[in-house]
Amino acid sequence: MRVALFVTCINDMLHPRTGQAVVALLERLGVEVGFPAEQSCCGQPQFNTGYRQAAEPLMRRFDRAFKDYEYVVTPSGSCAAMVRDNYPRIGAKAAAEGRGRGLVDAAAFAVPKMYELTEFLVDVLKVEDVGAYFPHTVTYHPTCHGLRVLGLGDRPRRLLEHVEGLELRELPGAEECCGFGGTFAVKNPAVSAAMGADKVRHILASGAEAVCAVDNSCLLHIGGTLSRRGAPVRPVHIAEILASTGGTAGTARNARTEGSVR
């Protein structure tokens, strides 16, 4: 099984820890992980803002970077959704504009190997208990792309439910968008902030110590709002929870029994 990590541009620059968590987790599960350095951004910001053609070179780059791999795994629901949902559209439009079938082929190649992390764990590796230990109360925010485009369903929850020490708290209004939406947050700041404020209110109502999701871009927005309000809740990518283990977190286990349910 040849598995490549598609870390994504945001994680590469702002959340290297999430990428490291994916590597640690997959290696712990016996998967050999490669990181093709040629990889870059999936083109989602460009495409979603209306610059479809600016996404095309990035799509070709994706194709080149991952051509030797059977699976591409990413800790980002929205980037996985971009590849799976929009690459075929970009390919079809380019072909319709008379620019050949290169991008159609690139999409046909990329789509079947693209997996969001929790999908890869549950569907390909067929594990739900990844042997993680995380002695905290956590609430799960299902991101829009994970929920509606990828159809992740309860995969992330099933993984979290098997994490030792973790107490999962219900999130009111869980399926509502947090208000990030890429450039939406910049173009419609008032509405985006109002949505973020409501999401944060619900997170606080859950009483959890941490909020997790399959996408750091949503967590960036949620975390920025939490931090501005001085709220003690931490945003954590689900990969970082799943990568935590009893062994490595041993000191934490002893020191923080009050946060543990076991």
Partner 1 sequence: MSGTYLGMPAFPRAAATATRDTRLRANLTHATHTIRDKRAKAVAELDDWAQLRAAGAAVKDRTLRRLDHYLEQLEAAVTAAGGQVHWALDADEANRIVTRLVRETGESEVVKVKSMATQEIGLNEALAGAGIRAYETDLAELIVQLGHDLPSHILVPAIHRNRSEIRDIFRREMASWGRPAPEGLGDSPAELAEAARLHLREKFLSAKVGISGANFMVAETGTLVVVESEGNGRMCLTLPETLISVVGIEKVVPSWQDLEIFLQLLPRSSTAERMNPYTSTWTGTTDGDGPQTFHLVLLDNGRTDTLADTVGRQALRCIRCSACLNVCPVYERAGGHAYGSPYPGPIGAILTPQLRGLAGPLEESLPYASSLCGACYEVCPVAIDIPEVLVHLRERVVQGGPVTLGGTRTVLQPAKGHAAERAAMRAVGWAFDHPGALRAGMRLAARTRRLHPRRLPGPGRAWSRTRDVPEVPAESFRDWWQRTRGTSSGRGTSSESGTSSGPGTSSGPGTTSGPDTSSERRGDVK
Subset of 131-160 contacting partner 1 (CB under 8 A): 132, 134, 136, 144-145, 147-149
Which H or E run contains 73? strand 71-74
Beta carbon of residue 105, minimum distance to partner 1 (angstroms, whole number): 19
Q: Of the candidates 160, 195, 203, 213, which one interacts with partner 1 according to CB under 8 A?
A: 195
Beta carbon of residue 83, minimum distance to partner 1 (angstroms, whole number): 15
Contacts (CB under 8 A) with partner 1, residues 1-60: 7, 9, 11-21, 23-25, 27-28, 32-38, 40-41, 43, 45-55, 57-58
Q: Of the candidates 191, 257, 261, 262, which one interacts with partner 1 according to CB under 8 A?
A: 191
Distance CA 54, CA 43 (A): 8
Other Cβ atoms within 10 Å of 32 Cβ, number: 9
Q: Is 176 in the site for partner 1 (CB under 8 A)?
A: yes
Beta bridge partners, 3, equal 33, 71
Name which of 69 and 109 has its Cβ closer to partner 1: 69
Q: Of the candidates 94, 104, 196, 253, which one interacts with partner 1 according to CB under 8 A?
A: 196
Q: Is 169 in the site for partner 1 (CB under 8 A)?
A: no
Structure tokens, 11: 């994680």
Name which of 112 and 173 has its Cβ closer to partner 1: 173
Name which of 122 and 163 has its Cβ closer to partner 1: 163
Binding residues for partner 1, how many (CB under 8 A)? Answer: 96
Q: Of the candidates 98, 126, 190, 254, which one interacts with partner 1 according to CB under 8 A?
A: 190
Amino acid at the residue 2: R
**Which one of 106-114, 122-130, 154-162, 184-192 is the stretch in contact with partner 1 (CB under 8 A)?**
184-192
Distance CA 27, CA 5 (A): 12
Angle between helices 52-66 and 87-96 (to 10 degrees): 120
Contacts (CB under 8 A) with partner 1, residues 90-119: none
Q: Is 94 helix (H, G, I), strand (E, B) or coil?
A: helix
Buried-exposed string 149-170: b where 16+ CB fall within 10 A, e elsewhere: bbebeebbbebbeebbbbbbbe
Distance CA 143, CA 229 (A): 22
Query: Are 117 and 238 contacting, i.e. CB atoms less than 8 angstroms apart?
Result: yes
Contacts (CB under 8 A) with partner 1, residues 197-256: 197, 209-210, 219-221, 223-225, 227-228, 234-237, 240-241, 243-245, 248-249, 251-252
Distance CA 170, CA 247 (A): 28
